[in-house]
Amino acid sequence: MRRRAIENNRVGYLMVSPYIIFFLLFVGYPLMFSLVLVFHKWNIIGPMRFIGFGNFGQLLHDALFWKSLGNTLIFLVIHIPLQIIIALVIANILNQRIAARGFFRAAFFLPVVVSGVVVTILWQQLYSQETGLFNTLLSRIGLPKVPWLISTRLAMPSIAIMATWKNVGLYIVLFLTGLQTIPASLYEVADLDGASEVQKFFHVTIPMLNPTMVMVVILSTLGGFSLFIEPYVMTGGGPMNSTLSCVLYIYKQAFYFNHMGYAATLGFAVALIIMIVVIIQRKLVETEIYT
């Protein structure tokens, strides 16, 4: 018995060793190194120069950094509610006795599996001012054309709408799975109490879906802070930096200007902000479920 335990020990360490090596090299070291980088000015070719908290000072006064955070906020304010409303409505309809449910589910899910690059190239054309599908459709029914990606006020909302189209299928299926775990007895009790459909929706369905809701809000938020390929391909961050996202800004600082220390500082700050935002969201959205 004792031998068995010792044997297990050795084999156990051996078997987790690939992960330990991997972790030290590709997670531990980069994390440590980023702590060094944030205190240095470095163009990756020359020597590193220690500048103390210089990068943080620069960050506080960097209008573009705050602009990218503001853009992310605009994205999230449009993307999250839109996503939740559409996903909730569709999931509730799909949860009825619907024929061909599998087909509809698969159709809504299609954009989720397709590369973001494909979706972006496609939507760039749909949004195109002169030859785009949306504007052609609008002028066909006698409405004025909309400067989807050209206007500084509309460009980010346009990207948020596209991202909703791309991701909402996943959230439909997540809500659908959540709906199917709600015990039918809860609705029966509500029926006995004479609750209307609307009351049942707001007092049974919504509270019971809370765990899914939390997940949807957090995943969408992480998506917003990771936005890169959409503005990179569609607008390059323009017009007038109105679609500059956090990751696109880090990318530009690192690979257009070779400001490695500053880019690492930006990455650090964004990661910190993500954590704070997610903690606040959990506090706001998460509720106790009484059953």
Q: Is 146 left (phi over 0), alpha (psi -120 to 50) or beta?
A: beta
By CB under 8 A, the residues from 230 to 249 that bind another protein are 232-233, 236, 246-247
| DSSP tag of 261 | H
Taking a C-beta distance cutoff of 8 angstroms, is the pair 123, 234 a contact?
yes
How much of the chain is in helix, strand and coil states, percent to nearest 5? Answer: 75, 0, 25
Span interacting with another protein, options 50-58, 67-75, 188-196, 229-237, rule CB under 8 A: 229-237
Among 60, 73, 85, 98, binds another protein (CB under 8 A): 98
Q: Are 171 and 216 in contact (CB under 8 A)?
A: yes
Instruction: Please tell me whether residue 126 binds another protein under the rule CB under 8 A.
Output: yes
Looking at the Cβ atoms of 16 and 60, the one nearer to another protein is 16
Helix (H) / strand (E) element for 40: namely: strand 40-41
Choose, by CB under 8 A, the member of 60, 85, 121, 206 that binds another protein. Answer: 121
State the number of binding residues for another protein (CB under 8 A): 94
By the rule CB under 8 A, 137 interacts with another protein: yes
CB of 225 to another protein, least distance (A): 7
Q: Which is nearer to another protein, 8 or 199 (CB)?
A: 8
Closer of 31 and 289 to another protein (Cβ): 31
Q: What is d(CA 225, CA 247) in angstroms, rounded to the nearest whole number? A: 7
Q: Binder to another protein among 215, 238, 239, 285 (CB under 8 A)?
A: 215
Residue 181: helix, strand or coil by DSSP?
coil
Nearest to 163 by CA among 116, 214, 222: 116
Question: Measured from the CB of residue 54, what is the shortest distance to another protein in angstroms?
Answer: 17
Q: How far is the CB of 180 from another protein (least distance, A)?
A: 11
Using DSSP's 3-state secondary structure scheme, residue 49 falls into: strand
Instruction: Tell me the closest approach of the beta carbon of residue 198 to another protein, in angstroms.
Output: 14
